[in-house]
Amino acid sequence: MTVQIKDMTLDKVAVGPVAARVYQGAEYSKSPPVLIYFHGGSFKGGIPQECEFAQVVAETGAIVVIPDYTAPLGNVFPKPLETGFSVFSYLALKRAGLGNRKSLLLVGGVESGGNIAAAVALKARDHFADELDGQVLLSPLLDPFMGSASFEAADKVGMKERWSEGWSHYLSTGMCHPYAAPCTCSRLTGVASALVLSSEDDPLRDEALDYADHLKNAGIAVTRHVCPAGTGWPSVYGGKTDVAPSWQPQVREQFSSFVQSVSIH
């Protein structure tokens, strides 16, 4: 499916205008699912020029909205979360020409963007629960202690120092609220259904799967998928890889199945 990419400004968001890039398949249903996708960048980056994941998801018929969530207020907690939640709240009330009231509304993100997506899902549970239909977490950066066994491979993909500096910057206010580090949240009951994606050779694999287990233990419907090693998965957040990325078909299938399961639920 041909994917159209356009830049727009969400000019009525509570925190002020937010720039966004939208990926949309040329052929989509009358009520396509809308995914608000928070980009990675270790809490510091802006909207990427190209986003392979957004391209893949748009090919399934979804609309992917990538907001520049660090620009309006800054990139130190809780500012990115405030912007992200404001974008979610705005699209929940006013679709801004993106889908319609029957469209599923999902949040998702990769790496630090996965952290923001998980936090938005927690805050949505606390403030706006009925409007969020699901969360899609790609190798979410959730643990500021960076102590998991899989994290030992962070140097191999060239991300250890970047993640360490990113966490120090994001938490430089001295706050470590559960919204800042969702893995520390002790109350997960009632959050939206989740699709959690990682790979066998992903340094963030263990914290992603641990969070998936905590969600499942809280009674949340969770789909978890771990791509085999060698699919180039770390490239999804800018990590080094020696192979051409081949994770796309698996992600396309997992996302489509997740949307179908959420629709049925």
95-150 residue pLDDT tens: 888 988 899 999 999 999 999 999 999 999 999 768 999 999 999 999 999 999 99
| CATH (residue range 3-264) | 3.40.50.1820
Residue 54 to residue 37: CA distance in whole angstroms? 8
At CB < 8 A and 24+ separation, what contacts does 171-177 make?
171/77, 171/144, 172/76, 173/76, 173/77, 175/77, 175/78, 176/144, 177/77, 177/78
Task: Identify the residue with better confidence: 25 or 111.
Answer: 111
The stretch 18-38 carries a mean pLDDT of 89
The stretch 3-9 carries a mean pLDDT of 96
Q: What percent of the chain has pLDDT over 90?
A: 89
Is beta strand 18-25 parallel, antiparallel or unpaired with respect to 3-10? antiparallel
* Domain range list for the chain: 3-264
The stretch 165-191 carries a mean pLDDT of 93
The stretch 161-176 carries a mean pLDDT of 93
Contact 65, 29 (CB under 8 A): no
Among the ranges given (17-26, 54-63, 121-130, 219-228), the one the predictor scored with the smallest mean pLDDT: 121-130
Residue 36 to residue 19: CA distance in whole angstroms? 13
pLDDT for 26 beyond 90: no
> What's the pLDDT score for residue 201?
97
User: Where does the pLDDT of residue 173 fall: very low under 50, low under 70, confident under 90, or very high at 90 and above?
Assistant: confident
> What's the pLDDT score for residue 167?
97
> What's the pLDDT score for residue 101?
87
Beta bridge partners of 195: 136, 223
The stretch 223-243 carries a mean pLDDT of 97
- Residues 66-81: pLDDT tens digits? 999 999 999 999 999 9
User: Where does the pLDDT of residue 27 fall: very low under 50, low under 70, confident under 90, or very high at 90 and above?
Assistant: low
